[in-house]
Amino acid sequence: MSKGLLIVLSGPSGVGKGTVCSALRGKMDNLVYSVSATTRVPRLGEENGVNYFFKSHDEFNHMMANDQLLEYAEYVGNYYGTPRDFVEETLQSGKDIILEIEVQGALKVKEKFPEGIFIFLLPPSLDELKDRICGRGTESQATIDHRLSVAVDEISLVGHYDYAVVNDQIDAACKRIESIVIAEHCKVRG
Ligand SMILES: Nc1nc2c(ncn2[C@@H]2O[C@H](COP(=O)(O)OP(=O)(O)O)[C@@H](O)[C@H]2O)c(=O)[nH]1
Ligand SMILES: Nc1ncnc2c1ncn2[C@@H]1O[C@H](COP(=O)(O)OP(=O)(O)O)[C@@H](O)[C@H]1O
């Protein structure tokens, strides 16, 4: 059996990564979502083990020290990391896996998995990004401001990715990502 594809999806806070990933999970049977560990406090409606594995700082440090994370990064005051075993087991089973992670972590994954597919999700404009993050209503104004200032730096790193997808409409963005994955499966690899 051939190994699955490792897909990394990054993009600024509020661009629609979570929304697009949920929509893709309903459309792509062979696609598995990597659930990250984080020290961030759960938002209303988020479930442990579904959206994230919510960890204390001690628990997160333990995962780091025991090499249980494929990559990790600090983002706006919290730690986020990808559990390693699940990624490796999923790829071995022949399924594709999508990691929804920020840019520093994505660059670390690229060093370890240069054959991965790196997709950056862009907002139609910075004003629209601001409207989306504010409209979601999950963050304080100070956190929104911090995330928007980080967004500009994140977007400047789009050149490290293989594909840039504008999330103007959810269905259109999903179709673009599905098309990328289909094409990557057809690729002749040397
Ligand atoms: N490096 C890294 N980043 C992650 C991981 N999990 C989530 N992130 C990123 O951390 C950032 C903050 O996530 P979150 O607080 O859920 O806010 P969101 O941007 O609104 O989804 C986002 O860019 C996520 O993609 C991970 O395992 N590793
Ligand atoms: N294409 C889109 N058009 C309009 N609103 C969107 C679109 N994609 C996502 N949203 C909305 O934007 C907000 C942020 O989306 P979310 O998926 O939480 O972003 P992220 O995971 O990148 O932080 C949510 O309220 C979501 O419903």
Distance 182 CA to ligand 1 centre (A): 25
Q: Is the ipTM of this complex over 0.95?
A: yes
Query: Using one digit for the tens of pLDDT, what is the confidence trace for 112-139?
Result: 999 999 999 999 999 999 999 999 999 9
Q: How many alpha carbons lie under 13 Å from residue 27 in its C-beta half-sphere?
A: 18
Look at the pTM and tell me if it is higher than 0.95: yes
Per-residue pLDDT, 117 = 98
Atom of ligand 2 nearest to the CA of 15: 22
Domains and CATH numbers, the chain: 6-186 (3.40.50.300)
Q: How far, in Å, from the CA of 64 to the mean position of ligand 2?
A: 30
Convert the pLDDT of each residue in 159-184 to its tens digit: 999 999 999 999 999 999 999 999 99
Residues 149-168, mean pLDDT to the nearest whole number: 97
Task: List residues near ligand 1 (CB under 6 A).
Answer: 13-14, 17-18, 36, 40, 71-73, 75, 80-82, 100-102, 105
**CA dist., res. 129 & res. 13, Å (int):** 8
